A and B are shown apart, each in its own frame.
Chain A
Amino acid sequence: MEQFVPVKRSKDGQPVRYLVVDDSVFARKNLAQMIETFGGQLAGEAGDGMTAITEYERTNPDIVLMDITMPQMEGIEAAEKIVQQHPEARIVMVSSVGYQENIVAALQRGARHFVQKPVKPEVLYEVIKYVMGEDGTVAHAAGAGA
């Protein structure tokens, strides 16, 4: 997999920490691999919306990558609940169902961005940089190239 110039946290230069929420183990592994190529760190994983809320509290990640269609509690509802408690939460919805109503509903309930599956690493990388904004910095290191 392509290696990207690491995105770090501006405040302390540490890797961006991610919570990955998806009911598919395959999808979580795939996203975890991408996070590694972005120089990030996997803070936690969850397989449904309910667990995502408790994992958010436990891990306090910089970014949440959240699927939409999941058992028990869907991603949009989980995103809304997390943002209600943590308005600063940066949640990126990652779903194969990318129609307008879904995207609008997710953004209205507090998600910062939407990425459609299958996820292209270069697209997610740009979204991560955008969502981190000034809280993220692209750390140019010798030997790394996007």
Chain B
Amino acid sequence: MKMELIQPFINAADAVLAQGLQSPMSIGNLSMEEEAYRRKGVAALIWVSGDIEGRIVFDLDPETAVRVASRLAGAELPESDELVQETVCELANQVIGNAVTSLNDQGFHFRVHPPVLHTSEHGPKCSEDTEALVMCFETCSGNVFMNVALRYNRSPQAERAAAGQ
């Protein structure tokens, strides 16, 4: 996966998490995932379609999800609280929305679908043309994982047009 696709997600996660948690974050491991995706805890799944297609999973282990949601809610929340899941979905929506906005400015056009809670333990294995990159963001509330599997979905002519050639 090209860096031009990844950098907007890193920048968006940095901006959204740092603002929401009122604390700087750092980027931890970045790795390619070759096996089927395994959920870590509370995960939100967002599909994008258009010039770039694929899915992004925003994933927090249960303890981190509770800490993040409690911090954003301004009150201690129990793990069972629906607001914990809602918070993860909305954070995913904000990170991915901001990344997509940036990619759109680069000439890619696509549609973002509403986030859904990802409840199955495993996700689809990436394919030859859809590599999955796992990013870890280290925040004051714990590690936040983002699994990005995207592929280009536009013709070479459109590529050249977008590049102004």
Contacts and interface: CB of A to CB of B under 8 A. Distances in A.
A24 interface: yes
Interface residues of A, number: 23
A95 B87 CA distance: 15
B101 interface: yes
A116 B15 CA distance: 12
Interface stretch (A12-20, A84-92, A96-104, A124-132): A96-104
B114 A96 contact: no
Contacts of A62: none
Given A25-B82, A26-B83, A26-B86, A95 B97 contact: yes
A26 B71 CA distance: 12
B94 interface: yes
Contacts of B93: 24, 27, 69, 96, 117
Interface in A22-76: 23-27, 29-30, 33, 69-71
A96 B96 CA distance: 8
B72 A26 contact: yes
Interface size grouping (class) on chain B: 20 to 34
Contacts of B96: 96
User: Secondary structure of the B side of the interface?
Assistant: helix
Contacts of A70: 114
Interface string B87-121: 10110011111101100110001001110000000
Contacts of B97: 69, 95-98, 117
B114 A69 contact: yes
Indicate the member of B87, B93, B95, B104 with the most A CB atoms within 10 Å: B93
A145 interface: no
A120 B19 CA distance: 9
Interface of B: 15-16, 19-20, 69, 72-74, 82-83, 86-87, 89-90, 93-98, 100-101, 104-105, 109, 112-114
Given A96-B95, A116-B101, 7 more contacts: A24-B86, A24-B89, A70-B114, A96-B96, A96-B101, A97-B97, A118-B19
